[in-house]
Amino acid sequence: MATVNPPMEAAQSDAPSRTGVWTWLTTTDHKKIGLLYGGSAIVFFVVGGIEALLIRVQLATPNGEFLSADAYNQMFTMHATTMVFLVVMPAAAAFTNYFLPLLIGARDVAFPRLNAFSYWVFLFGGLFLTSSFFLGGAPDGGWFGYAPLSSQLNEVVRMDYWALGLQIVGLASLLASVNFITTMFTMRAPGMTLMRMPVFAWMALVVNFLLLFSLPIITVGLIQVFLDRNLGTLFFDAANGGDPILWQHLFWLFGHPEVYILILPAMGIVSEVLPTFSRKPLFGRSFVIFSGIAIGFMGFGVWAHHMFTAGLGPVAEAAFALTTMFIAVPTGVKIFNWLGTVWGGSVRLATPMLFSLGFIAMFVIGGLSGVTHSVAPADWQQHDTYYVVAHFHYVLFGGAVLGLMAGMYYWWPKITGKLLDERLGKIHFWLILAGFNLTFAPMHILGLNGMPRRTYRYPEGLGFEFWNFLATLGSFLIAVSMLVLFWNMFRTWRRGEVAGPDPWDGRTLEWTISSPPPEHNFDRIPVVEHEDDFWYRKYSTADDGTSVAIDPPPDMEVEPEANIHLPSPSFYPVLTGSGMFVTLMGLVYVPWGLVAVGVGALITMWGLFGWSMEPITREDH
């Protein structure tokens, strides 16, 4: 490293504690863990994206020869599994980890070592799932793993990877949810009442409640699938009295709250971005919060709309059709609140704002096509067609992913201290918006014309050719747009414009501290007097309702507190996680893998024992 150019050298000497693998392996700093989540999510996004492109190449022409039926099954299963569990959830976890403590004025989460443990368990789970490609083939029974497809024992071990991988990723999320819930209830800065919490924090709270109460259900289902495969239990064996419909209930009791687990963080981000770039408070703020809570509750009451074709009977179907229609109401409330926020504001169309507006537009389309599914007879027609694929990509890609990208552009300067290039950001936005619509809008038509999901080829002459070709073109446009983003990130990481503490004229506490934030976050824990507290330290409201900058601007420099306790780094979380990884690997290859199970269990016990004996606080900072 002797020949590095001067700026790089300077950057490194500025932050010696940021380098070194050991530092990252043992970190308990919520910001570093957030970065680890974010980095992992980006890597898995590339993996899942490549899987999607392979699918689209196969479907570009009729009678595609590019993938075999077997490879295609693996691709669509792993594309969905990766994008849901290894991209959107960890990306949301990245923002929650990094920004939740900053937004509520805390120095870390309630249980920092547990937080590190959650990350490592997630990462090992993701590696476990992905490694299946090289160890006999990836899961091929769909991300929903419907029994008996998932529970029948074949020669191969593919769905074992799926059942165990989801189990372990779920464990990571469950532990994280306990951690974040405790954090939000105990570590808010003085004056930060629950209703003064930023909306992103609120949505994170709802998400973590959803995780807390939905994950145990899928845990049981996955255990049953695993035992059916490996111990010969009969949970889903219809020939011997088992009932595959029970699996559908257990899966969707988790799976539908999961949908809101994926979208609510994006809604939270958008609720932060829109006020900042409209220079207005969020319109009907408490309505947005209560709608989020209502979505959380109602999200548990609609699961059977995924099962309209399973034969639940008219009473259940009518009831679930109604609850599904009702859940559109709190979602609609939010849309109008966001529009009301932008209305009449001094709007700056910076990249985060563009992504937020894109989110609203795409999410409305996806939400409306979702409501059409709630009509049970119509759903029978649409079930298992590309219409459904179009719908959930509009809410998950057009919704969740665009929202998360808004968050990335919005908070990037806080994380790195550098602004992303606006010109490249706008190119990225318009490319991804065009590519996204080109890919998924045709799928509405394909689906209504009867093209089924999850089939690896289609014959000529059914009118599917043109729209499929368009969709494939669009998917490559999305890929190109992502290259623009990566180039932007790479370039500005080192040479971007320096952001300063408050590049967007922000409203919340994270903008009161330097970019990137110091390790202890706040020199002095802030005392909060208002929702959007930082804004009201900078601006007073004139009689006509406009904001007037307070002169002179507030001085953010404060005398640092004398004794700041930060959690010590710990090796035990990653050790315990790696023990669990070895255990999982062994479980796939029962019975001889039981040796690995034993070894893994010993490592796990060693980790847990060391963990419970380890002193907690490092020397005063």
| Closer by beta carbon to other proteins, 79 or else 107 | 107
User: What is the spatial distance between Cα 226 and Cα 472, in angstroms, rounded to a whole number?
Assistant: 36
- Which of 217-225, 355-363, 419-427, 496-504 is the region at the interface with other proteins (rule: CB under 8 A)? 217-225
Query: Of 110, 203, 443, 489, which one interacts with other proteins (CB under 8 A)?
Result: 110
Q: 162 to 181, contacts with other proteins by CB under 8 A?
A: 174, 177-179, 181
| Closer by beta carbon to other proteins, 303 or else 359 | 303
Does an H or E element contain 549, and which?
A: strand 547-549
Q: Which positions from 189 to 208 touch other proteins by CB under 8 A, shown as an x/- string?
A: xx------------------
Q: 406 to 465, contacts with other proteins by CB under 8 A?
A: none
Query: Of 4, 220, 349, 594, which one interacts with other proteins (CB under 8 A)?
Result: 220
Query: Of 72, 85, 95, 111, which one interacts with other proteins (CB under 8 A)?
Result: 111
Q: Which positions from 316 to 335 touch other proteins by CB under 8 A, shown as an x/- string?
A: x-------------------
Closest separation between CB of residue 328 and other proteins, Å? 20
User: What is the spatial distance between Cα 461 and Cα 121, in angstroms, rounded to a whole number?
Assistant: 49
Q: Say whether residue 537 binds other proteins (CB under 8 A).
A: no
Q: Say whether residue 280 binds other proteins (CB under 8 A).
A: no
Query: Of 213, 287, 326, 589, which one interacts with other proteins (CB under 8 A)?
Result: 213
| Closer by beta carbon to other proteins, 65 or else 559 | 559
User: What is the spatial distance between Cα 436 and Cα 60, in angstroms, rounded to a whole number?
Assistant: 16
Q: Say whether residue 613 binds other proteins (CB under 8 A).
A: yes
Q: Say whether residue 348 binds other proteins (CB under 8 A).
A: no
- Which of 260-268, 278-286, 310-318, 396-404 is the region at the interface with other proteins (rule: CB under 8 A)? 310-318
Strand partners, 541: 547
Q: 506 to 535, contacts with other proteins by CB under 8 A?
A: 524-525, 527
User: What is the spatial distance between Cα 11 and Cα 492, in angstroms, rounded to a whole number?
Assistant: 13
Q: Say whether residue 590 binds other proteins (CB under 8 A).
A: no
Q: Say whether residue 293 binds other proteins (CB under 8 A).
A: no
H helices of 231-350, where?
244-278, 285-298, 314-342
Q: Say whether residue 579 binds other proteins (CB under 8 A).
A: no
Overall size of the chain counted in residues: 621
User: What is the spatial distance between Cα 62 and Cα 412, in angstroms, rounded to a whole number?
Assistant: 43
Q: Say whether residue 617 binds other proteins (CB under 8 A).
A: yes
| Closer by beta carbon to other proteins, 55 or else 204 | 204
- Which of 79-87, 238-246, 470-478, 576-584 is the region at the interface with other proteins (rule: CB under 8 A)? 238-246
Q: 5 to 34, contacts with other proteins by CB under 8 A?
A: 28
Number of neighbours of residue 588 by Cβ within 10 angstroms: 22
User: What is the spatial distance between Cα 183 and Cα 502, in angstroms, rounded to a whole number?
Assistant: 25
Distances (CA, A) of 325 to 308, 318, 329: 14, 11, 8
User: What is the spatial distance between Cα 283 and Cα 276, in angstroms, rounded to a whole number?
Assistant: 12
User: What is the spatial distance between Cα 253 and Cα 300, in angstroms, rounded to a whole number?
Assistant: 7
Closest separation between CB of residue 562 and other proteins, Å? 8
Q: Say whether residue 591 binds other proteins (CB under 8 A).
A: no
| Closer by beta carbon to other proteins, 36 or else 174 | 174
Query: Of 157, 199, 204, 217, which one interacts with other proteins (CB under 8 A)?
Result: 217
Query: Of 234, 375, 590, 599, which one interacts with other proteins (CB under 8 A)?
Result: 234
Closest separation between CB of residue 215 and other proteins, Å? 7
Q: Say whether residue 232 binds other proteins (CB under 8 A).
A: yes
Residues ≥6 apart with Cβ < 8 Å to 431: 477, 478, 480, 481, 484
User: What is the spatial distance between Cα 117 and Cα 246, in angstroms, rounded to a whole number?
Assistant: 32
Q: Say whether residue 187 binds other proteins (CB under 8 A).
A: yes
Q: Say whether residue 242 binds other proteins (CB under 8 A).
A: yes
If phi > 0 it is left, if psi is from -120 to 50 it is alpha, else beta; for residue 364 that is alpha
User: What is the spatial distance between Cα 551 and Cα 538, in angstroms, rounded to a whole number?
Assistant: 8
Distances (CA, A) of 304 to 312, 313, 402: 8, 11, 28
Q: Say whether residue 41 binds other proteins (CB under 8 A).
A: no
Q: Is-contact 378 308, C-beta < 8 A?
A: no
Query: Of 3, 563, 592, 619, which one interacts with other proteins (CB under 8 A)?
Result: 563
- Which of 9-17, 247-255, 258-266, 543-551 is the region at the interface with other proteins (rule: CB under 8 A)? 247-255
Does an H or E element contain 466, and which?
A: helix 465-495
Q: Closest by alpha carbon to 554, among 533, 575, 523?
A: 533
Size of the site for other proteins (CB under 8 A): 67
Q: Say whether residue 219 binds other proteins (CB under 8 A).
A: yes
Instruction: Tell me which amino acid residue 544 is.
Output: D
Q: Say whether residue 603 binds other proteins (CB under 8 A).
A: no
- Which of 214-222, 358-366, 462-470, 577-585 is the region at the interface with other proteins (rule: CB under 8 A)? 214-222
Q: Is-contact 199 287, C-beta < 8 A?
A: no
Residues ≥6 apart with Cβ < 8 Å to 365: 394, 398
Distances (CA, A) of 394 to 3, 207, 216, 403, 413: 48, 20, 28, 12, 28
Q: Closest by alpha carbon to 225, among 141, 286, 120, 313?
A: 141
Contacting residues toward other proteins, per CB under 8 A: 28, 106-108, 110-114, 174, 177-179, 181-182, 185-187, 189-190, 209, 212-217, 219-221, 223-224, 227, 231-235, 237, 240-243, 245-246, 249-250, 253, 300, 304, 312-313, 316, 524-525, 527, 561, 563-567, 612-613, 615-617
